[in-house]
Amino acid sequence: MSIDQKTVAKIAHLSRLKIPADEQIGVAGELNNILGWVAQLDEVNVDGVEPLASVNDAALRARPDIVNDGGRPEDILANAPAKTADFFTVPKVVE
């Protein structure tokens, strides 16, 4: 696939970029070079190569998922502007 000045103008319009007409020919050449590099990747033999999600083949350490309430309601509510029993009190916003 070869990119010409008309294609560059269309891409610039779709991506909301302002590329002056005198620079569109240079941009077309750069995009054609990039597409040439991508075409070179098609020549690489990847038979038997597993897809790679990450270069590190390490699993993340997982901690046990234990549900608790923290056991410290006084500490949690110490900086609350208003509280009722062991709950935050907020102003009513719906009438």
The count of structural domains within the chain is: 1
How much is the pLDDT for 61?
Answer: 85
Give the DSSP per-residue string, 54-76.
-S---PPP---------S-HHHH
Say if 17 falls within a structural domain.
yes
Residue 13 has pLDDT above 90, yes or no: yes
Distance CA 26, CA 48 (A): 39
* CATH number of the domain within which 22 lies: 1.10.20
Helices (H), 1-81: 5-14, 21-41, 73-76
Condensed to tens digits (0 to 9), the pLDDT of residues 35-71 reads 999 999 989 998 998 888 778 777 778 888 888 767 8
How much is the pLDDT for 95?
Answer: 75
- Asked if 3 contacts 32 with a C-beta cutoff of 8 angstroms, the reply is yes
pTM, rounded to two decimals? 0.50
Say if 35 falls within a structural domain.
yes
% of the chain beyond a pLDDT of 70: 99
Beta bridge pairs of residue 84: 87
